[in-house]
A = this chain, B = another copy of it.
Amino acid sequence: MNNYTIKDIARIAGVGVTTVSRVLNNGYGVSKETRAKVMEVIEKCNYIPNSNAKHLKQVTSQIVCIIVKGTYNPFFHDMVVELQKCVEAEGYIPLVSYIDEDENEIRCANQLIKEKKAQGIIFLGGSAVDKEEELHKLNSPCVYATSSASDCNVSGVSSVSIDDCLEARRAVTYLLDSGHKNILVVGGAIYQKDLMYNRYQGVLEAFEERGMHFDKKNMYIESKFSYAAAYESMSSFLKLNKPITAVFAMSDVMAIGIAKCVIDHGLKVPEDISIIGFDGIEQAWFYNPTITTIKQPSVEIAKKSVALLIKTIRDKAFSQHLTVSGKLLKGNSVKVMS
């Protein structure tokens, strides 16, 4: 394919390289005729500017990066779609980067800021816990979407999230209200101050509120966030023959894996075992039965995240932590006992 450079275009169009650059970047100060002439050559040659050179030299851009941690999370997919829309609506260019679970998102952000001259970062997945120093060094506008950074007191760093503790409590309370007492909880590994930790606290609170005790040893199982892992965890649990009537899964993906496992064991959802999930992804809605879940308001989180980021881009010292409300989405996976 062609390998035209800006110099070639300039030569062919009979103008200077600066003029071509101006045309490309919608810069002003180019006459209509010159612009038309240059555009024609660009089209004809099918010229594509080299973004390496562009970003190497460029000192600013209109780029906002969305860094997604965890290669496959259906909930994040919904979020990415919404975030892109919002970023574009603000006149910025969204740049989505998917990184592995074990990569350092702040390091990645730093690189994108230096190399692409990104004006701000939105983190999806990943946590601001114990990262004050790194974030301080980053010294750039960033927003944690769907996870709270309120404990992280760094200027320029904001967050928009649900109250994980409250929402998990909402889920478990709904099960308790529906007459369930033997409730299994399936979640991820619990680290201090972690998102999973908060959801777990919500479980405890829901029980305590009723003067009941949650038996973590027997009724909490840890699983990875995949259909297959949740299926396996549930399968092992069922072999123990412990009497349960309901499961709270800390993600919808887990909820679906668990539902399938229950069904494969000849039990019925929700007649024998009720299931409530978390996140509110499309797959849960289309599952059979529809999975009752706590919906995170993805559109609202996306809108507010971008709004905060824009504010921070304008005022580097800005910082705000918003909590939005989740919603119990009733499906058909929870049996209400009378």
Interface residues of A (CB under 8 A from B): 1-3, 48, 50-53, 55-56, 71-72, 77, 81, 96, 98, 107, 110-111, 113-115, 137-139, 227-228, 231, 256-257, 259-260, 263, 269, 282-283, 286-289
Contact = CB atoms under 8 A, between A and B. Distances in A.
Contacts of A289: 288
A6 to B, nearest CB: 13
Tell me the dominant secondary structure on chain A's binding face.
helix
Contacts of A111: 48, 51
Contact of A115 (B50, B71, B114): B50
7 contacts: A1-B110, A1-B137, A3-B114, A50-B115, A52-B53, A53-B56, A287-B288
A2 B136 CA distance: 11
A269 B286 CA distance: 14
Contacts of A98: 96, 98
A63 to B, nearest CB: 13
A318 to B, nearest CB: 19
B286 A227 contact: yes
A240 B51 CA distance: 54
Contact of A286 (B72, B113, B256): B256
A98 B84 CA distance: 13
A231 B286 CA distance: 9
